[in-house]
């Protein structure tokens, strides 16, 4: 996989994607988003890949949409092109689990793409924010929506209205990230978690993801019904028989992803 703005590689069952536009702090230009799409499509189609990791550099996960690229566009142009829609949503629509490993800046679109992932692991250097208001615009890829659902109205309002940047400790405290890790250990710890999830039955991991995400879209009663039906459907899998038999026989399960 030969890309200009990202590095994508298979590491066993893990599809590893590093945003790689260091001179612009991984600002999310059109070409980078196109390449990110291609890499996700490839890993999603590859049945040997169970989990995706999305990371950046030590200094920046991504400092947002590319300001130079968008600054002169006009309303009709962005409206007709449905700017920041096609391509940007690909991370959120990935059916396999996606872990974001964030060090340094995750601002604007960078914070939004991290929030599209299923788990965010943060280095102690991570900084999150929706500073679009400083540019005379607003978040365009879920910042006002996902951030509010995750950290609540008051904090989301403060972040989006003032452009304040929060550090990793605050991000963990308010539930934006699942864990803070020493920067030097971030990639190793991320790989450990990715490998642990990748060792599970892939269809079951996909059902877990689908079911947790359902809770964002529906009422509790509908969500519980959706979960129960998926739970029932796991009884059609060989992996459910294997997992439960392995427990009873006191041995590790050998999942076949069927
Ligand atoms: N777009 C384009 N280029 C960017 C960029 C961005 N979002 N962020 C940083 N860069 C470029 C800088 O222009 C600079 O390039 P040059 O060396 O060619 O001048 C290079 O990256 C390094 O940046 P700085 O010199 O500014 O580095 P710093 O360490 O002093 O500051 C920073 C780092 C605080 C992250 C600062 O770069 C910054 O504030 N960036 C913009 C953050 C932002 O506003 N993001 C929101 C974008 S809008 C958006 O994302 C909309 C949406 O919802 C999708």
Q: Edge-to-edge strand order for the sheet containing 127-129?
A: 60-62, 105-107, 127-129, 166-167
From the CA of 24, give the closest atom in ligand 1.
Answer: 21
How do residues 103-142 score in pLDDT, each as one tens digit?
999 999 999 999 999 999 999 999 999 999 999 999 999 9
Confidence of residue 196 (pLDDT cuts 50, 70, 90): very high
Minimum CA distance residue for ligand 1 atom 45: 64
Average pLDDT, the chain: 97
Confidence band (pLDDT; 50, 70, 90) for 2? confident
Distance 65 CA to ligand 1 centre (A): 9
Establish whether residue 131 lines the binding site of ligand 1, counting it when its CB lies within 6 angstroms of any ligand atom: yes
- Given this model, what pLDDT does residue 1 score? 73
Ligand 1 atom nearest 138 alpha carbon: 53
Tokens 């607003």 correspond to 138
* pLDDT tens digit sequence for 200-247: 999 999 999 999 999 999 999 999 999 999 999 999 999 999 999 999
Which atom, in ligand 1's list, is nearest to the CA of 130?
46
Beta pairing, strands 166-167 & 127-129: antiparallel
Checking if the pLDDT of 86 tops 90, the result is no
Asked if residues 121 and 178 have their Cβ atoms less than 8 Å apart, the reply is yes
Handedness of CA 109, 38, 89, 204 (dihedral sign): negative
Walk across the sheet containing 6-11 and list its strands. 6-11, 14-19, 51-55, 98-102, 119-123, 179-181
Nearest 5°: the CA angle 216, 56, 39 is: 70
Task: With H, G, I as helix, E, B as strand and everything else as coil, classify residue 175.
Answer: coil
Phi/psi of residue 176, nearest 5 degrees: -75, -35
**Which residue's C-alpha comes closest to atom 4 of ligand 1?**
24
Query: In angstroms, what is the span from residue 25 Cα to ligand 1's centroid?
Result: 7
Task: State if residue 84 touches ligand 1 by the CB under 6 angstroms criterion.
Answer: yes
Counting residues of the chain whose pLDDT is more than 90, the rounded percentage is: 98
What number is the average pLDDT over the span 93-110?
98
Instruction: Count Cβ atoms within 10 A of the Cβ of residue 183 and give its class: 0-12 exposed, 13-18 middle, 19 or more buried.
Output: middle
Check if the beta carbon of residue 28 is closer than 8 Å to that of residue 62: yes
């Amino acid at each position: 996989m030969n890309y200009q703005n990202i590095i994508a590689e298979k590491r066993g069952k893990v599809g590893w994607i590093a945003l790689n536009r260091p001179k612009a702090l991984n600002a999310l230009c059109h070409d980078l988003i196109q390449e990110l799409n291609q890499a996700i499509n490839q890993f999603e189609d590859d049945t040997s890949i169970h989990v995706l990791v999305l990371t950046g550099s030590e200094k920046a996960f991504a400092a947002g949409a590319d300001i130079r690229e968008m600054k002169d566009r006009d309303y009709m142009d962005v409206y007709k092109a449905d700017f920041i829609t096609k391509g940007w949503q690909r991370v959120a629509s990935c059916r396999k689990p996606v872990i974001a490993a964030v060090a340094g800046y995750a601002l604007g679109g960078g914070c939004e793409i991290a929030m599209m992932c299923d788990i965010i692991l943060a280095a102690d250097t991570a900084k999150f924010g929706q500073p679009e208001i400083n540019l005379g615009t607003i978040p365009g890829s879920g910042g006002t929506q996902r951030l509010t659902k995750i950290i609540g109205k008051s904090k989301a309002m403060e972040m989006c209205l003032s452009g304040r940047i929060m550090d990793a400790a605050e991000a963990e405290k308010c539930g934006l990230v699942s864990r803070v890790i020493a920067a030097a250990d971030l990639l190793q710890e991320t790989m450990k978690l990715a490998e642990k999830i990748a060792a599970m039955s892939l269809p079951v991991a996909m059902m877990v993801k689908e079911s947790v995400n359902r809770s964002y879209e529906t009422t509790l009663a509908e969500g519980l019904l959706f979960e129960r039906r998926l739970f029932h459907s796991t009884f059609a899998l060989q992996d459910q028989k294997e997992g439960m038999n392995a427990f009873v026989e006191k041995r590790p399960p050998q999942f076949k992803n069927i």
